[in-house]
Amino acid sequence: MASSSSTYNVYIPDDIIPTAETKIKLADRILISPLVLGTAAWGDKKVWTWSEECDAKAKEAFDMSISKGINTFDTAEVYGNGESERSIARYKTNHPNAGDIVLATKFLPYPYRFSYPSSLINALRASLDRLQVDCVDLYQIHGPIHFRSIEVLADALAEAVKLGLTKTVGVSNYSTDEMIKMYDCLQKHGIQLASNQVEFSLLRRLPETSGLIAECHKRGIAVLGYSPLAMGRLTGKYSAANPPPSGRPFSNINMDELEPILETMRRIANKYNVSVSSVALNYVICKGVIPLGGARDAKQAEQNTGALGWRLTNEEIAELESYRFNPANAFWQRFWQHG
């Protein structure tokens, strides 16, 4: 396997060792780092008990990520009711590498948002204001909960591109069929669908087993994997005696069931001299998915970057996949997660 600082379309080939210098091209327009920092926790007081102390630590996570070559940040208008976007704006102010930062945010198509393209354009302008930028690199539909058709949403995304408010557009939580429909609709505007963001981890492999990842790659669409650490369950931090705090629904599996795979991950982590988190993220990269690892402080951000510079062997991947899980999904997740 070769280590490379080259640029690859959509995902890193399986014979390449990812490094911080490796770049992935989306929609033939933007270059992102092989690991993206997810910022859903930033500003969230309800689930992640955000505070002034958290803000200072998140700034350190931001700085650490950039110092390690991770320059891509994923946020959304609803994260912390906009506070995640505002936090990023503060953190990048006067930052020496501000010009290299790649920003992705999302539009939540609430059913009451019925007037398009104005509902989407107005929301995007509000995000731009919070982020303190004139244009984002990637603007995504947050979930397939809209009452209007995919064609209507595609027209609105196309308008956002034509207005110069975003460089590329993507979707999140779309099924294979919904993703293909959005791709086809955007093609009529001469616009490439850049990405489909879905939950993907060792505990939720559905996007791969359903064929969604392969269908995305066939069309030049990147797959962004959120919750690659299963909301902390795959970090090695938690156990049956010390379970994660309540309110973390994705990949909601009892920690008793996870101990065997965590033991295997600890063994692999020791072999490569990395953290358990790094093993979980490297697995996602090996499956052709770009992981969105969250980080609330500099230590977590640094652990995430430990996923780079090496690659799981096929035998190690097979061993990790020998553990099978069936996460319990609430009704709202089935409504929300089609992909």
**Residue tagged 């982020």 (tokens):** 131
Quick one: which of 304, 298, 309 has its CA closest to 278? 304
Those residues with Cβ within 8 angstroms of residue 145's Cβ, 6 or more apart along the chain or in another chain: 108, 109, 110, 111, 335, 336
Among 8, 11, 79, 183, the active-site one is 79
Token pair of 134, please?
Answer: 């004139």
Residue-level length of the chain: 339
Those residues with Cβ within 8 angstroms of residue 29's Cβ, 6 or more apart along the chain or in another chain: 167, 168, 192, 194
116, HSE (Cβ side, Cα atoms, 13 Å): 23
- The crossing angle, in degrees rounded to 10, of helices 52-67 and 83-92 is 50
- Per the annotation, the verdict on 79 as an active-site residue is yes
- What string of DSSP letters covers 10-45? SS--TTEE--TT-EEEETTTEEE-SSEEE-TTTT-S
Quick one: which of 187, 119, 129 has its CA closest to 153? 119
Burial class, 148, CB count within 10 angstroms (exposed 0-12 / middle 13-18 / buried 19+): middle
Those residues with Cβ within 8 angstroms of residue 215's Cβ, 6 or more apart along the chain or in another chain: 176, 179, 180
> Using CA atoms, how far apart are residues 335 and 23, in angstroms rounded to an integer?
34
> Using CA atoms, how far apart are residues 302 and 146, in angstroms rounded to an integer?
37
Burial per residue of 109-144, b for 16 or more beta-carbon CB atoms within 10 angstroms, e otherwise: beeebeebbebbbebbeebbebbebebbbbbbbbbb
First to last CA, the chain: 31
Which are the catalytic amino acids?
Answer: 79
